[in-house]
Structure 1
Amino acid sequence: MPTETFEFQVEARQLLQLMIHSVYSNKDVFLRELVSNASDALDKLRLAALRDDGLDVDTSDLHIEIETDPEARTLTVRDNGIGMSYEEVGQLIGTIAHSGTAQFLKELQEAKDAAGAEGLIGQFGVGFYSGFMVADEMTLVTRRAGEDRGTRWSSRGEGTYTLETVDDAPQGTSVTLHLKPADPENQLHDYTSPWKIREIVKRYSDFITWPVRMAPDSKGEGEETPGPETLNSMKALWARSRDEVSDEEYHELYKHVGHDWRPPLETVRLQAEGTFEYQALLFLPEHAPHDLFTQGYRRGLQLYVKRVLIMDDCEALLPPYLRFVKGVVDAQDLSLNVSREILQQDRHIRMIQRRLTKKVLSTVKDLKAKDAERYATFWREFGAVVKEGLLSDTENRDAILAVASFASTHAEDEPTTLQQYVERMGDGQDDIYYMTGESRESIENSPHMEAFRAKGVEVLLLTDPVDEVWVDAVGEFEGKRLRSVAKGEVDLDAQGDVASGEEREKQGEEFAGLLGWMKEQLGDEVKDVRLSSRLTVSPACVVSDAHDLTPALESMYRAMGQEVPQTKRILELNPDHLLVKGLNQAYKDREDRSGLVDTAELLHGLAVLAEGGRPKEPGKFVRLVAERLERAL
């Protein structure tokens, strides 16, 4: 097949230019990425050979080799792994980060520092192209295991690449970088230097389970070591005792499995012995990935069986609400031919999932008790996703509530636990009050909060979308009902009279006519009109009935494609507000009340706006407001 030339897509060309012009301060990471890719290829070949007896491949000496040529200024990283077919090269190498290039560029532009930009290389799957940071041209030669012919890919990073079929390619993949001219003033970045290669491999790839070798011809002057030199220890960190592993080694493994440049927030080790043995090494990240809440988020732990990588993203090992956890699990007694479908039903996997889930939650609980700052970082980044478990994992619901914290009116900068809230409850208070909304500011400015603020009753301020759902699912905590301040009727008499029983009864009689008339005038807009005991400043508010869906929850269900009927809200009036008093007096004084209809509609519209909604007819509402302002002048 003749050589064919292809063009990169526009976004890919932009990305190549960023690589070529060296936006990263630490160029050493290119070698980490190439070695990591080679390690993945060796894992895939060994697994393929174990599963397919008919695959004619030699797996007796799987390894990665690095070769340097100072005179030609080339660096080659080769492996004898699974390799790629012609079509796979076009798909995997010819298209840069085909599923994430646009997001990569966006994140890159927003990165606050060079180190942050550097970490995005692995996160977005563009590690292969990091070679253009140090090379003017890159050539890849590969042959897929079991096939007779290979493929050569080449590019100078200038917008095009070539593909051709070759007959003499060895099994596996070889990547050759034609390095940029040497910088005599900066020998620290001479990537043809054997000592530099040793330093990078030891720093980033020491934990790789395959030997990373320096080719004999790449030895430095005076080095006469016979045969290739192995540069990495190849020790699986999860199989070594805690005393044998440094924090730096754990951090490098995390960067490898988590595609994250930053060290983890916490490392979690677990070893189970007995009838079913396995080892686990898990990491809690320091920052949430950009796509944590997207449908295509790739979750799961690496699953090994007796040091053989079986699956790179085994979702069955942790529940979805812990999808941010990274790490490896090495089981001793699973089949090498296990599939995702089988794993979902395997009792051993279910047992591992239960144990890992409890271990992660207990680790967070310990973090909360011993290190408030790191716990605060964890909950800020992952609290919203952990709370999903309150809906799906009833077995661990109490454990999740124990590690959860919430913003509260008790303190602006110090979140509270439900236990702490209960301990602060006043005499006679039977409920845990909360309100949901888009932000703390919007909730605190809501009319629904007025009486609670006036009486000093603490309210939880819940601003994550999942909060709309889990509070109903959980229902109570230690016998105290979770109750929305924006639903049902509120009676704070137990905390100090807002209105005495006699006064309330008297007000009910005084406003009865107006309430019935307004309900009739507003028609389908409201479920009921009644006096409010939650308002102290605003003239009116709208609330949901005790068992009705909130507007936010209705919108959430509709966004998921579920049909839900429109729920009518209840309009509450503040009987102590001058506007409401004046309207009531006008209602009593006039036989012809048609002129009061606009005022009733304005009151309702103001109440809808106050909670962040919009009137049914915005244009009409604006006209009514303008007319009232005009008359006031």
Structure 2
Amino acid sequence: MEKKQFQAESKRLLEMMINSIYSQKEVFLRELISNASDAIDKIYYKALTDENLSFNKDSYYIKVVTEKENRLLKIIDTGIGMTKDEMEANLGVIAQSGSLAFKKENELKDGHDIIGQFGVGFYAAFMVADVVTVISRALGSDVAYKWESKGADGYTIEPTEKDTVGTEIILKIKEGTEEEHFDEYLEDYRLKTIIKKYSDFIRYPIKMDVTEQKPKDDTENEYVEFTEEQTINSMVPIWRKNKNELTTEDYENFYNEKHYGFDKPLKHIHISVDGSIRYNAILYIPEKIPFDYYSKEFEKGLELYSNGVLIMNKCGDLLPDYFSFVKGMVDSEDLSLNISREILQHDRQLKLIAKNINKKIKSELLSLLKNEREKYEEFYKSFSRQLKFGVYNDFGMHKEELQDLLMFYSSKEKKMVTFDEYISRMPEEQKYIYYASGESYDRIDKLPQTELVSDKGYEILYFNEDIDEFAIKMIMNYKEKEFKSVSSSDLGIEADENDTTSEKEANEHQELFAHMKDVLIGKVKDVRVSKRLKSHPVCLSTDGEVTIEMEKVLSAMPDNQNVKADKVLEINIHHDVFQSLKGAFDHDKDKLSLYTNLLYNQALLIEGLPIQDPLEFTNDICKVMV
């Protein structure tokens, strides 16, 4: 028996591995199974180039065995095995990859895939085991060797006997503590769960002797235990199957099996790319928004596989935030992995995959919008807020990608429409895309500010979510048409004869408006003749970029910066109320102040803004009634 020491650096790395590298100890089994799969792959590849070697796939498997009484867990494979020199090279140096070396030596590029980076992954076993024993007999050798280690102190190698080619890894599972429940790695149900989670799509059978119960003598009162060998993994992933072989039901079943959501997916996207980077993906657009979508607990991301082995449950880098509702998985054989399989060593490939996925999601949503409008509107009800936030976020960086996916309720069509549909109906003389904001479509319908735009026959988009105007401010214009709020002081509508008369009368009543402005000093920027009002006596409009609805949103935020819209009180000089204003100005300035405050508060109520002093407002009403 030879006693060997790990290299100094390897020893330190092993100590780190045992104590901190992996966030979840259960991945040790994933690593050992991946290495076992690699060992079988190597025989397969050799069989392709060696006419004296045949490969019958049915003869190759991985078996997981437990001996609870001895606290032993065994992972047995029928793969290529290791010589003594290979044991020292692969197991004596941390991060030495036998699979990687094999691939390089054989110039293996487009042959059978080799998953593992044998070496570091193997040492994950020490997270759960006090002693790790490896018994291996190499292909073409009559001699077997046993490698054994208790951790960082070193290892021994000695000859042993083994009847068949392959490798057997034996873990002496640690005793459980209050903090660490190592006993679970000796339980059939737990091992099955781990295998299904990480290694379900390994291409060779992963077998276990599983103890089950069945009724005794056709009665349901007594049960008898029996043990049978079961294949735990499904082996063939759905994403590697031909799309023509799969049905909608197949995709929905996969959605349910992976627990992507409790709903039915609205649409599935199956991607197979074989170019500069190779990957397969199955993505789902959910029907309903997850209950925790806007909570801190929600974590975006797609499952990430490397050659069928799960390496990340949630890879957030694969999805932009605005498409964070997308569920699914990506599998690529081109991803290079470092010591933990959880952190990508070279992320250039990942970024390329993410870019392609982003384009594909957008194109599928546009296709849904064009060809399955009802489905798209169903999706939009759930996720429109996320798309709008994507437009607003990062200073509008992604507006070009998302603006064609947005829809808003139309005053003319009485349904949701896109910007493109709106522009297609615009009269030639119309300069702007008009919108109106409010808490509901019904309230927006009744806004006084919409009268002139509606009378001109122009369509108005209704904004009823707090994010809407902020997103539009980032877009600024669509196909060279600027967005304009109906509450803007300048609507960009050409003056007609009535407007000219109003301008003349406004000049006549400058002193009246100046007095009203003084009454409302600090509350409004100006008091003006309204060119937009027809039947209503008064309304508020705004100068500048901040609208009244934006002011409401900003005021409700915890870090309220007290941002205010520059409000303008507009008076309809053709309304009967204006005659009362004129009369008060000529004969009773106190009454004019009373009327001014009443009209201002009335305008606030129309906008859904709070009245600063409700008691004063009710007293003013009483004064008018007396």
Is the 1:258–1:326 Cα contact (8 Å) retained in structure 2? Answer: no
Q: Tell me how far apart the structure 1 counterparts of residues 64 and 574 of structure 2 sit (CA, whole Å).
A: 82
Alignment partner of 1:299 is 2:300? yes
- Find the aligned partners of 2:521 and 2:63 in 1 and give their Cα distance: 77
- Aligned position for 2:426: 425
Q: 1:447 is matched with which residue?
A: 448
Asked if the contact 2:30/2:198 (under 8 Å) is kept, the reply is no
Instruction: Give the Cα–Cα distance (whole angstroms) in 1 for the partners of residues 597 and 334 of structure 2.
Output: 70
Q: Is the counterpart of residue 602 in structure 1 residue 591 in structure 2? A: no
Alignment partner, residue 627 of structure 1 = 623
Matches within 5 A, 1:225-264: 227-230=228-231, 233-264=234-265
Query: Do 2:335 and 2:346's aligned partners in 1 also have CA atoms closer than 8 Å?
Result: no
- When residues 151 and 552 of structure 1 are mapped into structure 2, their CA distance, relative to the original with a 3 A threshold, is farther
Which residue number in structure 1 is paired with residue 457 of structure 2? 456
Which range moves more in the overlay, 565-574 or 312-321?
565-574
Cα distance in 2 for partners of 1:302, 1:541 equals 53
The code of the aligned residue for 1:376 comes to E
Query: What SS does the aligned partner of 1:278 have?
Result: strand
Residue in structure 2 matched with residue 403 of structure 1 by the alignment: 405
Partner of 2:481: 480
Partner of residue 210 from structure 2, selected from 212, 215, 239: 215
2:437 & 2:488 partners in 1: Cα distance?
A: 11
Contact kept, 8 Å, 2:520 with 2:597, in 1: the verdict is: yes
CA distance in 2, matches of 1:571, 1:63: 79
Q: Which residue of 2 aligns with 1:201?
A: none
CA contact (8 A) 1:605 1:615 kept: yes
Cα distance between partner residues in 2 of 1:318 and 1:173: 36
Counterpart in 1 of 2:267?
Answer: 266
Match of 2:610? Answer: 614
Bigger radius of gyration among the two: 2
The gaps in structure 2 that reach 5 residues or longer are 1-22, 36-60, 67-72, 76-125, 131-172, 191-195, 218-225
Kindly tell me: are residues 519 and 477 of structure 1, through their superposed partners in 2, closer, same or farther at Cα, counting changes over 3 Å? Answer: same
Residue 280 of structure 2 aligns to a residue whose secondary structure is strand
What amino acid sits opposite 1:407 in the alignment?
Y
Offset, 1:395: 6.8
1:545 lines up with 2:543 in the alignment? yes
8 Å CA contact 2:33–2:199 kept in 1: the answer is: no
1:593 to 584, 589, 608: 589
- 2:313 matched residue in structure 1: 312
Q: Return the alpha-carbon distance in structure 2 between the equivalents of residues 550 and 299 of structure 1.
A: 34
How far is 1:290 from its partner?
Answer: 2.1
* Offset, 1:343: 5.9
The CA distance in 1 between the partners of 2:449 and 2:412, in whole Å, is 17
Distance 1:240 1:594 in 2: 83
Q: Tell me which amino acid in the other structure corresponds to 1:585.
A: G
2:517 maps to 1:525: no
Which structure 2 residues correspond to residues 64-143 of structure 1 after superposition, within 5 A? none
CA contact (8 A) 2:546 2:564 kept: no
How does the TM-score come out when normalised to structure 1? 0.65
Contact 2:391–2:397 (Cα < 8 Å) also in 1: no
> 1:227 Cα shift?
4.7
Determine the structure 2 residue equivalent to 1:437. Answer: 438
Distance 1:568 1:480, change over 3 A: closer
Query: How far is the alpha carbon of 1:431 from its aligned partner?
Result: 0.4
1:627 shift after superposition: 3.2
**Residues of 2 paired with 1:338 and 1:462: CA distance?**
51
Contact 1:540 1:603 (C-alpha < 8 Å) held by counterparts: yes
Shift of 1:374: 1.0
Query: 2:336, 2:344 within 8 Å by CA — same for their partners in 1?
Result: no
1 CA distance for matches of 2:346 and 2:485?
A: 39
Give the whole-Å Cα distance in 1 for the aligned partners of 2:527 and 2:341.
Answer: 56
Amino acid at match of 1:415: M
| Alpha-carbon spacing, 1:340–1:388, altered in 2? closer, same or farther (3 Å) | farther
Deviation of 1:445 after TM superposition, in Å, equals 1.9
For residue 437 of structure 1, report the CA deviation from its aligned partner: 2.2
Please say if 1:500 is aligned against 2:498: yes
Q: Within the alignment, does 1:534 sit opposite 2:532 as a pair?
A: yes
Matches within 5 A, 1:557-576: 559=557, 561=559, 563-576=561-574
Distance in 1 (alpha carbons) for counterparts of 2:34 and 2:604:
63
SS, match of residue 532 in structure 2: coil
Matched, 1:171 2:185: yes
Structure-2 change in CA distance of 1:458 and 1:164 (3 Å): closer
Cα distance change on mapping 1:47 and 1:466 into 2, 3 Å: farther
CA distance in 1, matches of 2:345, 2:477: 32
CA contact (8 A) 2:536 2:575 kept: yes
| Cα distance in structure 1, aligned partners of 2:284 and 2:65 | 27
Contact 1:434 1:482 in 2 (8 A): yes
Specify the alignment match of 1:19 in structure 2.
none
Distance 2:559 2:601 in 1: 28
Return closer, same or farther for 1:46/1:543 CA change in 2, 3 Å cut-off. Answer: farther
Look up the match of 1:511. Answer: 509
* Alignment CA distance shift 1:508-1:274 (3 Å): same
Q: How many residues align?
A: 467
Deviation string, structure 1 residues 168-202 (Cα, Å, up to 9, x no partner): x36255569xxxxxxxxxxxxxxxxxxxxxxxxxx
Q: Which residue does the alignment assign to 1:35? A: none
Amino acid at match of 1:480: K
Question: Secondary structure of 1:215's partner?
Answer: strand
Paired position in structure 1 for 2:358? 357
3-state SS, counterpart of residue 500 of structure 1? helix
Distance across 1 between alignment mates of 2:261 and 2:308? 23
Deviations 1:280-336 (A, max 9, x none): 110000111123233442111111122221211111111101010000011222232
1:336 lines up with 2:337 in the alignment: yes
**Deviation at 1:80?**
9.3
Structure 2 CA distance for partners of 1:165 and 1:316, relative to 1, 3 Å: closer
Offset at 1:403? 2.5
Separation (CA, whole Å) in 2 of partners of 1:341 and 1:597:
71
* Preserved CA contact (<8 Å) 1:47 1:310: no
Q: Which residue matches 1:44?
A: 27
TM superposition shift of 1:399? 4.2
Could you say what the CA RMSD is over the residues aligned between the two structures, in angstroms? 4.0
Question: 2:428 & 2:464 partners in 1: Cα distance?
Answer: 28
- Preserved CA contact (<8 Å) 2:239 2:280: yes
Deviation of 1:605 (Å): 0.4
- Aligned equivalents of 1:62 and 1:618: distance in 2? 78
Question: Do 1:490 and 1:533's aligned partners in 2 also have CA atoms closer than 8 Å?
Answer: no
Query: Are the counterparts in 2 of residues 264 and 283 from structure 1 also a CA contact under 8 Å?
Result: yes
- 1:411–1:551 CA distance, 2 compared to 1 (3 A): closer
Question: Hey, what's the Cα distance between the residues in 1 that align with 2:534 and 2:317?
Answer: 52
- Which stretch shows the higher mean deviation, 560-569 or 310-319? 560-569
Report the Cα distance in structure 1 between the residues aligned to 2:531 and 2:65, rounded to whole angstroms.
Answer: 74
Q: Distance in 2 between matches of 1:340 and 1:232?
A: 20
Q: Which amino acid aligns with 2:592?
A: L
| Separation in structure 1 between the aligned mates of residue 244 and residue 24 of structure 2, nearest angstrom | 31
Return the alpha-carbon distance in structure 1 between the equivalents of residues 424 and 485 of structure 2. 19
C-alpha contact (below 8 Å) 2:554/2:563 kept by paired residues: no
CA distance in 2, matches of 1:245, 1:42: 35
Q: Residues 303 and 329 of structure 1 are in contact (CA less than 8 Å); yes or no, is this contact kept in structure 2? A: yes
Q: Secondary structure at the match of 2:520?
A: helix
Alpha-carbon distance between aligned partners in 2 of 1:417 and 1:165, rounded to the nearest angstrom: 56
Alpha carbons of structure 1 residues 220 and 450: separation in structure 2 relative to 1, 3 Å: same
